[in-house]
Amino acid sequence: MDTTATFWLPTPSSTIAGEIDLLFYVIFYLTTFFFLLIVSLATYFTIKYRKTAENENDPMPFVGHSRLLEATWIIIPTAIVMVLFFWGFRGYLRLSIVPAEAMQVKVTGQKWFWSFDYPEGASTVNEMVAPVGRPVRLLMSSKDVIHAFFVPAFRIKKDVLPNRYGVSWFEANQIGVYDLFCAEYCGSKHSQMIGKVRIVSEQDYKVWLESASDLGKGLTPVQYGEKLFQLKACATCHTIDGSSSNGPTFQGIFGHEVKLANGSSVTVDENYIRESILVPSAKVVAGFQPIMPTFQGILKDKEIDALVAYIQSLGGK
Ligand SMILES: [Cu+2]
């Protein structure tokens, strides 16, 4: 694929760009060709058949019509226009149908900035980060007026409306930083509603996501654990005030023995809590149903650390 910028278009940097550019150039050169053809013929005929002293008194020639000529100028332009229509329509469909394996980023436009929310809980403002070679579905809405999400290098532009979701997608095929514009006049600072799309390798994306979705930034492990206790829905089954809910309370359990359903008992320590979170059925607390879901693959090590710290902070030995 052609990977250079031209006078007309920036470097094509998405999988769809090549196809769109080709159609653009076909239309561009086709219209240029007909423009030049028509203007030069009109100029030539105007000069050739102009009124002169010699032909001034010539009788008006008989002007009939040529079926062949008329058919030609109907059939050829119709064929050209139909080809352009179906070609464009096919591109439109490709832009509209998001690949099933796409990852999703929620895009929010508002006066006068963009914000992005990623599936793993990260969020960014005015800079979107995405991996190269993976389709990204953009679920877009506005908090106020109509904006438009426009990334010229990816050849995508889509209105972003309030009270309604719009969908677009792209798959970047080159690592780099690309311009993002709002392409719908949205008020006095419209021209400043600009951002960047940073395309990184799959590996860098993982690393970035890991740090960006670190909700514990700036919190102590205990504060972070408290946040996760609510955020990860532990609170729907556990309490911290000593009362039993669907599951045992966390108050004062750390360092104490708990009776298990199989008659044995175990001391609550870091490893027991970790195991309870990852393999809840391994040791079931007496008097409770084994209804706790596993958080394997849902909670990261750092989050488990924080929950352990939080449970420990709730008293005990
Ligand atoms: Cu805008």
Enumerate the domain spans of the chain: 103-212, 221-313
CB of 306 closer than 8 Å to CB of 225: yes
CA distance 3 to 51: 54
| Ligand 1 centroid – CA 9 distance (Å) | 22
Give the global pTM.
0.61
CATH architecture label of 103-212: Sandwich (2.60)
Cα(138) to centroid of ligand 1, in Å? Answer: 16
Contacts with 85 (C-beta within 8 Å, 6 or more apart), sequence order: none
Separation of CA 142 and ligand 1 centre (Å): 9
Q: Assess if CATH 1.10.760.10 describes domain 221-313.
A: yes
* Average pLDDT for 280-309: 89
Weakest mean pLDDT among 42-56, 265-279, 286-300: 286-300
Give the H/E segment covering residue 207.
helix 202-212
User: For 95-143, what is each residue's pLDDT tens digit?
Assistant: 999 999 999 999 999 888 898 999 877 878 889 999 999 999 999 999 8
pLDDT tens, residue by residue, 246-271: 899 999 999 999 999 999 999 999 99
Distance (angstroms) between ligand 1 centre and the Cα of 139 equals 16
How many angstroms is it from 47 CA to the middle of ligand 1?
52
Q: Which residue has the tokens 């149908």?
A: 97
Each residue of 11-61: pLDDT tens digit?
999 999 999 999 999 999 999 999 999 999 999 999 998 888 888 888 887
Element at 79 (helix H, strand E) = helix 67-96
* 150-to-88, 130, 255 alpha-carbon distances in Å: 19, 16, 57
Q: How far is the CA of 113 from the centre of ligand 1 (A)?
A: 7
pLDDT at res. 311: 96
First-last CA distance in the chain = 66
Q: Please tell me the distance between residue 213's alpha carbon and the centre of ligand 1 in angstroms.
A: 26
